[in-house]
Amino acid sequence: MNDLQEEPTKAGVAVAYLRVASQNPADAMVSLESQWCACKDIARRNELRIIATYVDIGVSGLAAQRPGLDLMMSELSMGSLSVCWAPYVVMADTSRLARSARLLLALELQLARYRTRLVTALDGHMVTRLTRKENERATNRNQATR
C-alpha cells in the first residue's frame, strides 16, 4: 500500500480544486472536464469522497488571489467548524494550484497549517511527503510550547 492510501481511507473526505487560465469557453470546458476526471480518479483510488469543488476559470496560476482558491482556503482555515473542511485537497497536478515554486510552497505550507494534505493525480507522492513533513514540524512546535 502506498503513502497516499494509508491516511485517506481513515478520513474519507476531500475537496477538489480545478483551475484553467483560458477564457475561451470551449478550451476551458475540455480542461475542466479532464481535471475533474483526474480528481475523481485519485479520490476513488484513495477511498475519498469529494464533498466540495472549487473552480477558477480564466485565472493564471501565477495569481495569488483567485475567487475559487480564496474561498477554498478560507473554508479550510475554519477547520471542523466549516461545512466544507476536509483533510485532503485533490487536484490534477500542482500546476493547477500554482505556476511558481514560491507560490506553490506558500500554499502547501498554508494547507499544512490547516491540517490539510494536497493529493494530486500526477505528483501526489512528492507533495504529500512535503506537506506531511511540515505537519510533523508544526505538531512538534505546538507540543514544545505547551
Q: What mean pLDDT value characterizes the chain?
A: 81
With respect to residue 5, please indicate whether it lies within any of the assigned structural domains: no
CATH number at residue 87: 3.40.50.1390
Q: Which three cell numbers stand for residue 34?
A: 479532464
pLDDT in tens, 93-142: 999 999 999 999 999 999 999 989 889 876 444 444 445 555 565 555 54
With respect to residue 2, please indicate whether it lies within any of the assigned structural domains: no
CA-based radius of gyration for the chain? 15
d(CA 118, CA 97): 10
**Statement: residue 39 has pLDDT above 80:** yes
C-alpha count within 13 angstroms, C-beta hemisphere, residue 112 = 19
**Statement: residue 9 has pLDDT above 50:** no
With respect to residue 3, please indicate whether it lies within any of the assigned structural domains: no
Number of domains present in the structure of the chain: 1
**Statement: residue 85 has pLDDT above 80:** no
Query: Range with the lowest mean pLDDT among 19-23, 40-44, 55-59, 129-133?
Result: 129-133
Mean pLDDT on 38-56: 93
How confident is the model at residue 36, as a pLDDT? 96
Note down the domain range covering 132.
Answer: 11-144
Torsion angle of alpha carbons 92, 94, 100, 105, nearest 10°? Answer: 150
| Confidence at 79, pLDDT banded by 50, 70, 90 | confident
With respect to residue 21, please indicate whether it lies within any of the assigned structural domains: yes
With respect to residue 1, please indicate whether it lies within any of the assigned structural domains: no
67-77 vs 101-113: helix axis angle to the nearest 10? 30
With respect to residue 4, please indicate whether it lies within any of the assigned structural domains: no
d(CA 32, CA 37): 9
With respect to residue 48, please indicate whether it lies within any of the assigned structural domains: yes
With respect to residue 62, please indicate whether it lies within any of the assigned structural domains: yes
pLDDT in tens, 14-28: 999 999 999 998 999
